[in-house]
Amino acid sequence: MANIKTKKGTIGILTGGGDVPGLNPAIRALTIRAIREGYRVVGIRRGWAGLIELDRNSAQSRSEMVVELTEEHVNKVGRTGGTFLHTSRTRPSHVPKDEVPLHLRDTYQDEFNDLTKETLANLEFLGIDTLIPIGGDDTLSYAVRMHESGVRVIAIPKTMDNDVPGTDYCIGFSTCVTRTIELTHALRTSAGSHERFLVIEVFGRYAGFTSLLPTMAGAANRCVIPEHTFDIDKLCELLAADRYSNPSRYSVVIVSEGATFHGVETVFSGEEQDMFGHKKLGGIGDIVSARLKDLSPKYNSGRPINVINQRLGYLVRCGDPDALDSIVPMAFGNLAMGLVLDGVEGRLVCVHNGRYDNVPIEMVTSRKKLVDFKKFYNTERLRPQYKQFDSAPLFIMTGD
């Protein structure tokens, strides 16, 4: 497989970070267009991990880490969720000693190791002319490093949190919002039957788009987001009032996993960190639920209000993509291939003001993309606020 090139060249595709619906449609669109334009396409398995775990002296390693992509191959998986190339949260520039691949452990023995040299050597060995990584801000931050190291890179944004700077939309976001609305509505039957508060915890480390948008669509009475530290007593008061005004005597709040309230910091499910320095979030919904029950007698004539507490977790990122996450990835794949054909590199394909576009890849590391809570979030009422829709992005408050 080493240095095999067609007349036009070889394109490498990888997916990194968390899985979302829409990755396989993007790979499909990109592969089919590239092959028909005369390019060879290879998929790198397990994201950036594949480019450090590849042992250039092992045929078995090459077959495990790299797959030749054909139209027949991608057509079979193009309608499905997840990523058939698999994924990881690997950061080649910061690999812990115990995670250095076996064939490299004699060379790299520091507590944290920069394996960028190996990544570059493997890209050259595979004869990859253009690398197209599909991922969120962590995955694409290393794509910026590759671009700065001289690799031809075109990036595609993916994350259900929709928090990659430079684009209004990231692959996976629509399905996440759709599933959150569907599952929250389904849980209303239990909340109403028992006249309870319903607390839904959703993904969202830094950005609250995944709780704000479903609430705006009517899935919940209130939502709390990472961008604003809220008052739990105020939330209880609002939910109690919502419950009282509801003939079925229940109310709903959607809680971003990165949300905090006065006296409680960010909640982690464990102390282990990934290579990007992130601890796994999860559990704020449990704490909010317990506190709401404790506080509820104050707003319910001395009687406690029980709580249904549900963490949606992977239910909103598994399974097949919805319509938008089938269409946008197709467009992003073709946009990326269009840039390759034009000889352009170092770009991030994107949606901007409702139109497909591209921006410098450095946008990914320029800042964090967060909810403009002063504009779109009512901090007193703990729910979305929106007054003007003219010229707004499709998802209203996700413009970049």
295 and 212 in a single domain? The answer is yes
- Tens-digit pLDDT profile for residues 62-73: 999 999 999 998
Q: Is the pLDDT of residue 198 over 50?
A: yes
Look up residue 114 and give its two tokens: 């920069």
81 and 209 in a single domain? The answer is no
196 and 279 in a single domain? The answer is yes
109 and 28 in a single domain? The answer is yes
309-320: average pLDDT: 95
Is residue 116 one of the residues assigned to a domain? yes
Is residue 400 one of the residues assigned to a domain? no
DSSP 278: P
272 and 215 in a single domain? The answer is yes
146 and 185 in a single domain? The answer is no
Nearest to 30 by CA among 15, 54, 13: 13
- Tens-digit pLDDT profile for residues 9-41: 999 999 999 999 999 999 999 999 999 999 999
In the chain, DSSP finds a helix count (H) and a strand count (E) of 12, 17
Is residue 391 one of the residues assigned to a domain? no
Q: Is the pLDDT of residue 400 over 60?
A: yes
Is residue 280 one of the residues assigned to a domain? yes
pLDDT band at 306 (very low <50, low <70, confident <90, very high): very high
17 and 106 in a single domain? The answer is yes
Pairwise CA distance, residues 331 & 336, whole Å: 9
393 compared with 363, residue with greater pLDDT? 363
**CB-based contact 146:119 (threshold 8 Å):** yes
Q: Is the pLDDT of residue 6 over 60?
A: no
Amino acid 312: pLDDT: 96
Nearest to 224 by CA among 381, 364, 47: 381
311 and 179 in a single domain? The answer is yes
23 and 158 in a single domain? The answer is yes
Is residue 5 one of the residues assigned to a domain? no
Q: Which domain holds residue 56?
A: 10-171+320-365
Is residue 3 one of the residues assigned to a domain? no
226-240: average pLDDT: 97
Q: Is the pLDDT of residue 4 over 60?
A: no
- Tens-digit pLDDT profile for residues 248-282: 999 999 999 999 999 887 766 666 665 665 566 67
Could you tell me the CATH number of the domain that includes residue 61? 3.40.50.450
pLDDT band at 2 (very low <50, low <70, confident <90, very high): very low
35 and 67 in a single domain? The answer is yes
348 and 202 in a single domain? The answer is no
The residues annotated with a catalytic role in the active site are: 161
CA distance readout (Å), 93 to 14, 109, 143? 17, 14, 11
Q: According to the 3-state scheme, what is the secondary structure of 120-149?
A: HHHHHHCCCCEEEEEECHHHHHHHHHHHHC
CA distance readout (Å), 252 to 4, 96, 261, 286, 311? 57, 42, 17, 14, 13
Pairwise CA distance, residues 251 & 377, whole Å: 19
186 and 297 in a single domain? The answer is yes
**CB-based contact 46:65 (threshold 8 Å):** yes
334 φ, ψ to 5°? -70, -35
327 φ, ψ to 5°? -80, -50
Could you tell me the CATH number of the domain that includes residue 229? 3.40.50.460
Amino acid 342: pLDDT: 97
Q: Is the pLDDT of residue 3 over 50?
A: no
Is residue 303 one of the residues assigned to a domain? yes
* Counted domains in the chain: 2
Contacts of 359 (CB under 8 A, 6+ apart): 166, 167, 347, 348, 350, 352
**CB-based contact 60:2 (threshold 8 Å):** no
Is residue 4 one of the residues assigned to a domain? no
